[in-house]
């Protein structure tokens, strides 16, 4: 194969493996560099090891879930939409299912099996996968990429795809290496922050509820000078703060605000259908009909007993207080807490516990139609290295696969056209 058709992919996660597959299918000679001992380690751990790789959300709403830059994804999703991804995986022996009507998983239920299928496809296409090999520099001349300097020597190439991921889960390969390479090409990096990560609170009361999960909560965060951030869904209390899907989905914006020095107040409504006037009416009914009952026992009909106890403690109500003995001030304070349990977020559990990284290569410097750098010809980006991070539920893996597909195809075809 001609040297004018050689591509180096930096990173062996789902996006890098997919990019390598599509570049090789398009006729390129592909070398994939993976700094860890095996490719796809993080992929093997996704979805609790079950690999929730996409979902059934319509494309417009899917992109909206990524925030104000979500439309950047449109060309990649056209190259490989949800059904295209399902077909891609099925052709490699990994058919999928949607048991709950929303989340897509491989029928095998194994993220490791998906990883193995991608690696096997690369091998069948003679992709040269070099593990334990890290890209440490880019060879650039005349505004064009010419190769990669690796820990095992220089590799000449006509195109390079940076699919090196972000900083999350360093034990599974997360590092700043991709950002460092992008900077050497003149790219700016939106400051990375942990996302899809448990949050740490100043208050200590969540520790009393560690392990308690609420299935359907409303949450609202108020970073200073940043407007309101809302979420809904399950919340899990931890020894240091809060987690669960509702929290994880908004955690990236919160960790970024904390990093900027903003104070972040978080309010949790354990029962979103109950507003303060409903609670006040409920308390009045209890006072009339069940005044001899303890407040804790009455609240435990709606909330886990331990959470009811925390609400009473924060409201200054004795744990054995009877409903008939509460004054109006105590009732209103308890009702307010039941609608908005307050926390002050001081940080997160860090990149080591983050599922993805918020921030990355500035999207203004990437052509969304090709994922090629606007600064250096022949340099492409895919996956988490870009400044895009979505919520839980298969969003980020779909982006990884779709962007890998587009970068793989366009890097191969455009380099071939340039050589003609």
| Mean pLDDT, range 336-354, rounded to an integer | 97
The pLDDT confidence band at residue 382, using thresholds 50, 70 and 90, is very high
Distance CA 207, CA 415 (A): 56
The residues near 91 (Cβ < 8 Å, ≥ 6 apart) are none
CB 403 within 8 A of CB 76: yes
pLDDT at 3: 43
The residues near 417 (Cβ < 8 Å, ≥ 6 apart) are none
> For a pLDDT cut of 90, what percent of the chain falls above it?
93
Provide the 3-class DSSP secondary structure of residue 295. Answer: helix
pLDDT at 418: 52
pLDDT at 315: 97
What's the number of CA atoms in the CB half-sphere (13 Å) around residue 344?
Answer: 7
Q: Work out the mean pLDDT of the chain and round it to a whole number.
A: 95
Provide the 3-class DSSP secondary structure of residue 372. Answer: strand
pLDDT at 5: 76
**Prediction pTM value:** 0.93
| Mean pLDDT, range 3-24, rounded to an integer | 92
Domains of the chain (ranges plus CATH)?
3-192+360-419 (3.50.50.60), 198-349 (no CATH)
CB 399 within 8 A of CB 388: yes
Tens digits of residue pLDDT in 190-225: 999 999 999 999 999 999 999 999 999 999 998 776
Q: Is the pLDDT of residue 122 over 50?
A: yes
Encoded tokens for 133: 């090999």
Distance CA 176, CA 197 (A): 18
The pLDDT confidence band at residue 259, using thresholds 50, 70 and 90, is confident
The pLDDT confidence band at residue 228, using thresholds 50, 70 and 90, is confident
pLDDT at 180: 97
For every residue of 71-89, DSSP letters joined together read GGGHHHHHHS-HHHHHHHH
Ranking 125-139, 171-185, 248-262 by mean pLDDT, the lowest is 248-262
Can you name the residues that pair with 55 across neighbouring β-strands? Answer: 103
The pLDDT confidence band at residue 77, using thresholds 50, 70 and 90, is very high
Q: Is the pLDDT of residue 4 over 50?
A: no
Q: Which of 27, 160, 127 is nearest to 150 (CA)?
A: 160
User: What's the length of the chain?
Assistant: 420
CA angle 88, 110, 15 (to 5 degrees): 45
Q: Is the pLDDT of residue 227 over 90?
A: no
How distant, in Å, are the alpha carbons of 238, 363, 408 from that of 123?
A: 43, 32, 16
| Mean pLDDT, range 219-241, rounded to an integer | 89
| Mean pLDDT, range 120-144, rounded to an integer | 97
pLDDT at 1: 32
Task: Report strand pairing: 159-162 vs 6-10.
Answer: parallel
Residue 388 main-chain phi, psi, to 5 deg: -140, 130
For every residue of 189-216, DSSP letters joined together read EEEEEEES--EEES-SGGGGGTT-EEEE
| Mean pLDDT, range 301-321, rounded to an integer | 96
pLDDT at 2: 39
């Amino acid at each position: 194969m001609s040297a004018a058709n050689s591509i180096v992919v930096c990173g062996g996660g789902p996006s890098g493996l997919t990019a390598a597959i599509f570049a090789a299918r398009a006729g390129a000679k592909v070398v994939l560099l993976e700094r860890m001992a095996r490719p796809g380690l993080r992929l093997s751990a996704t979805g609790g090891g079950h690999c929730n790789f996409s979902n059934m959300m319509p494309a417009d709403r899917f992109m909206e879930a990524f925030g104000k830059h979500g439309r950047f994804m449109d060309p990649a999703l056209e190259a490989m939409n949800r059904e295209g991804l399902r077909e891609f995986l099925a052709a490699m022996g990994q058919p999928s299912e949607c048991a709950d009507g929303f989340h897509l998983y491989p029928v095998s239920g194994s993220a490791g099996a998906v990883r193995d299928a991608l690696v096997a496809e690369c091998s069948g296409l003679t992709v040269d996968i070099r593990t334990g090999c890290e890209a440490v520099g880019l060879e650039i001349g005349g505004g064009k990429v010419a190769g990669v300097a690796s820990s095992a020597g220089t590799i000449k190439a006509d195109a390079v795809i940076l699919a090196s991921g972000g900083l999350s889960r360093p034990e599974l390969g997360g590092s700043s290496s991709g950002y460092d390479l992008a900077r050497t090409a003149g790219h700016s990096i939106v400051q990375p922050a942990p996302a899809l990560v448990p949050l740490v609170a100043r208050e200590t009361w969540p520790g009393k509820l560690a392990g308690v999960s609420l299935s359907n909560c409303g949450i609202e965060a108020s970073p200073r000078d940043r407007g309101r951030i809302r979420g809904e869904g399950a919340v899990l209390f931890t020894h240091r703060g809060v987690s669960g899907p509702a929290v994880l989905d908004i955690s990236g914006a919160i960790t970024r605000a904390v990093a900027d020095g903003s104070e972040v107040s978080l309010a949790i409504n354990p029962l979103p259908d109950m507003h303060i006037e409903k609670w006040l009416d409920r308390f009045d009914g209890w006072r009339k009909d069940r005044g001899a009952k303890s407040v804790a026992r009455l609240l435990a009909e709606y909330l886990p007993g331990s959470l009811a106890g925390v609400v009473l403690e924060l409201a200054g109500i004795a744990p054995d207080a009877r409903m008939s003995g509460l004054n109006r001030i105590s009732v209103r304070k308890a009702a307010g807490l039941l609608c908005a349990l307050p926390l002050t977020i001081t940080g997160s559990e860090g990149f080591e516990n983050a599922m993805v990284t918020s921030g990355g290569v500035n999207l203004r410097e990437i052509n969304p139609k090709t994922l090629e750098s606007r600064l250096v010809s022949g340099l492409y980006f895919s996956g988490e290295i870009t400044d895009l991070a979505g919520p839980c539920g298969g969003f980020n893996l779909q982006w990884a696969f779709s962007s890998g597909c587009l970068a793989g195809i366009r890097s191969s075809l455009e380099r071939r056209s340039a050589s003609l």
